[in-house]
Structure 1
Amino acid sequence: MGSLHRMAVLCGLTVALATSAAQAQDWKEARNEDGIKVSLSEVAGSDYKAYQGVTLMKTTVAKLRALQDDVAGACTWIYECKQQKLLKHEGDQSWTYSQFNTPWPVTPRDSVLHVTTSEGADGSLTRKLEGVPKYIPEEKGFVRVAKVEGFWKFVPKGDQVEVTYQVHTEPGGSVPSMVANKFVVDAPFNTLKALKAKAEQ
């Protein structure tokens, strides 16, 4: 009976995970202007929506990669980024620390990301983003972002690159729903708009 029970539990978990994944793919368009499309998705068990921004840029994957590899400089085009630094780099993996501005009365946030880079046979580049909040001690005056899951993907399309930026965040602490709902649209839109301006220079 023990093994049957375990199988039932595993089956239940598999179904739950499959359902969660399916729900996370149910994207609804929230903003579409300046060639940038932002969509949102409900995430099972979370009060916060996942966001996805997609746009085409007249640039190269190599240039986009270089702009991201400049971790400190990237703060100039990442929405509400106050400061960013590279903590460690090892092969195709890196660990970064970022501080973000937040509207009053929300306490400023910081986050630690584990970034894994992979290259596709089609010349594409994917950067998987995973929050690792315990990687370094918390900073005074900041609330550490509890969870980050997402990716950047650059896919060559002729003389352009299709850029996808998708993230789901658990911001930690207390964030008013009005602020959270505005952020999930503004963050991908403004980040992609600023990156596009840099990449197309």
Structure 2
Amino acid sequence: MLTLLATTAFAAPTHAEMEAAAWADVGTAKHSEVGTVTIRKVTLQGIECFEGSAVTDVAPSKLLAVVADVEGAVRWSTAGVTEAKLLSNSGGVLEYYQYLDVPGWTFAADRFWFLKSTTEDTGDHAALRWSPLTNGGGHTEAYQKVKTEHPDAIEPTANVGSWIFDKKDDGTHVKYQVCTLPGGSIPTSIQNAATKKTLPDTVGDVVREARRR
């Protein structure tokens, strides 16, 4: 679901811009859980954004239940989420915190984020769209606690994205879109390469967990 010791304001793309954009194909990858994952990218508001898409036999509602399980990501995600806390859940709007343990061999700092996600589910269509909660939004105590316990961790300077699931004749079309700037000392080009490489696993993790349930 996934990235300055102080948050820097940055003009990130809107969800409407992301969904209306002309995404360009940049390749495909095979994944044991979902078969072919198509990878696309587009530059919006100066940020290189990425999309991973695939087709599965799992219903949209089941897939949405997985990505909305923000605390469960500690268990089912292979991305390295080691902490997660749902801070509020009201009317399909989730506010939460997650912490990403970045492998030491990368020489990069760990990442954390406070996000607000909206969800929708009409049966044949389901979606979760997230955007950042600046300085933790209304969760000041939780935000300061994370900053105190993880003083070297970095909060992304931009982090906007979505999961979209649409049932069609050939199955459920899964689409994961993300626009992010890593912050800290990681060159954006390296972060972009890592995002592109991990897209198949990001999509595959969700489908695998939905099947398990």
For normalisation by structure 2, the TM-score amounts to: 0.73
Q: Which runs of 5+ in 2 are unaligned?
A: 1-13, 137-142
Distance 1:112 1:98, change over 3 A: same
Indicate whether 1:107 and 2:118 are aligned.
no
Tell me the equivalent position of 1:6.
Answer: none
C-alpha offsets along residues 17-75 of structure 1, whole Å, 9 cap, x if unaligned?
9xx879953423233323211212223433xx211010112111222122223222123
Larger Rg computed on CA atoms: 1
Tell me the equivalent position of 2:133.
Answer: 132
Give the distance between the partners of 1:21 and 1:111, measured in 2 at CA: 20
2:61–2:126 contact (8 Å) kept in structure 1: no
2:64–2:128 contact (8 Å) kept in structure 1: no
C-alpha offsets along residues 122-181 of structure 1, whole Å, 9 cap, x if unaligned?
620121110113113352231112221111111112473111110101222221345313
Tell me the equivalent position of 2:71.
Answer: 72
Tell me the equivalent position of 1:196.
Answer: 207
Question: Stretches of 4+ moved more than 6 A in 1?
Answer: 20-23
Tell me the equivalent position of 1:11.
Answer: none
Tell me the equivalent position of 1:28.
Answer: 25
Give the distance between the partners of 2:38 and 2:53, measured in 1 at CA: 5
What is the alpha-carbon root mean square deviation over aligned residues? 2.6
Give the distance between the partners of 2:179 and 2:173, measured in 1 at CA: 20
2:125–2:165 contact (8 Å) kept in structure 1: yes
Greater relative contact order structure (CA < 8 Å, 6+ sep): 2
Tell me the equivalent position of 1:3.
Answer: none
Give the distance between the partners of 1:105 and 1:200, measured in 2 at CA: 35
Give the distance between the partners of 1:61 and 1:158, measured in 2 at CA: 13
2:156–2:180 contact (8 Å) kept in structure 1: yes
Q: Which runs of 5+ in 1 are unaligned?
A: 1-16
Give the distance between the partners of 1:158 and 1:132, measured in 2 at CA: 37
Give the distance between the partners of 1:21 and 1:55, measured in 2 at CA: 18
Percent sequence identity over aligned pairs: 21
Give the distance between the partners of 2:77 and 2:169, measured in 1 at CA: 25
Tell me the equivalent position of 1:8.
Answer: none
Tell me the amino acid that sits aligned with residue 55 of structure 1.
A
1:171 to 179, 182, 195: 182
2:154 to 143, 148, 156: 143
C-alpha offsets along residues 47-105 of structure 1, whole Å, 9 cap, x if unaligned?
xx211010112111222122223222123225232222211111110111111122421
The alignment of Structure 1 onto Structure 2 pairs a total of residues equal to 180
Tell me the equivalent position of 2:163.
Answer: 152
Give the distance between the partners of 2:61 and 2:188, measured in 1 at CA: 38
Instruction: Give secondary structure in 2 for the equivalent of 1:59.
Output: coil
